Amino acid sequence: MCGLLGFLTSDAATEDVVARVYHALHCVRHRGPDERGTWHDEHMIFGFNRLSIIDIEHSHQPLRWGPPENRERYALTFNGEIYNYLELRAELAAAHGAEYPDDSLFRTEGDGEAIVAGFHYWGREVLGKLRGMFAFAIWDTETHELFLARDPFGIKPLFLATGQGGTAFGSEKKSLLELLPALGRTDELDPRALEHYTVLQYVPEPETLHRAIRRLESGSCAVVKPGAAPEISRYFRPRFAARAFAPGTVDARIREITAALEDSVAKHMRADVTVGAFLSGGIDSTATAALAIRHNPKLITFTSAFERAGYSEADVAAETAAAIGAEHIVKIVSPTEFAQSIPEIVWYLDDPVADPALVPLYFVAKEARKHVKVVLSGEGADELFGGYTIYREPLSLKPFEYLPGGLRKLVGRLSERIPDGTRGKSLLHRGSLSLEQRYYGNARNFNDAQLRSVLREFRPEWTHQDVTAPIYAESRGWDPTARMQHLDLFTWLRGDILVKADKVTMANSLELRVPFLDAEVLKVAEQLPVDQKLTRDTTKYALRRALEPIIPAHVLHRPKLGFPVPLRHWLRGSELYDWAQQQIAESQTDHLLHKAAVKTMLDEHRAGRADHSRRLWTLLVFMIWHGIFVEDRIKPDIKEPTYPVSL
- Write down the catalytic residue from 1, 2, 117, 555: 2
Instruction: List, as one string, the DSSP characters of 174-238.
Output: HHHHTTHHHHT----B-HHHHHHHHHHSSPPTT--SBTTEEEPPTTEEEEE-TTS--EEEE----
Q: Is 111 assigned a ligand-binding role in the annotation?
A: yes
The helix/strand/coil state of 110 is: coil
Residue pair 76/134 in contact (Cβ under 8 Å)? The answer is no
Classify the phi-psi angles of 439: left when phi > 0, otherwise alpha if psi is within -120 to 50, otherwise beta.
beta
* Rg of the chain taking only CA atoms, in angstroms: 25
Environment class of 421 (CB within 10 Å of its CB; exposed 0-12, middle 13-18, buried 19+): exposed
Residue pair 528/242 in contact (Cβ under 8 Å)? The answer is yes
Closest CA to 394 of 344, 364, 431: 431
Helix pair 480-490, 465-473: axis angle to 10 deg: 120
To which H or E segment does residue 625 belong? Answer: helix 613-629
Q: Is 378 assigned a ligand-binding role in the annotation?
A: yes
The helix/strand/coil state of 564 is: coil
Judge whether 2 counts as a catalytic residue: yes
Residue 564: partners with Cβ closer than 8 Å, 6 or more residues away: 306, 310, 311, 313, 357
Q: Which amino acid is at 349?
A: L
Determine the Cα–Cα distance for residues 645 and 535; give it in Å rounded to an integer. 48
Q: Is 405 assigned a ligand-binding role in the annotation?
A: no
Continuous H helices in 226-280: 250-268
Query: Vertex 348, ends 455 and 375: CA angle to 5°?
Result: 125
Q: What's the DSSP call for residue 497?
A: I
Side-chain half-sphere exposure of 99, counting CA atoms within 13 A: 15
Determine the Cα–Cα distance for residues 524 and 547; give it in Å rounded to an integer. 14
CA dihedral 429, 432, 436, 440 (to 10 degrees): 10
Which residues are annotated as part of the binding site?
Answer: 111, 377-378
Feature table: binding site for ATP: 377-378
Active site residues: 2
Annotated binding-site positions for L-glutamine? 111
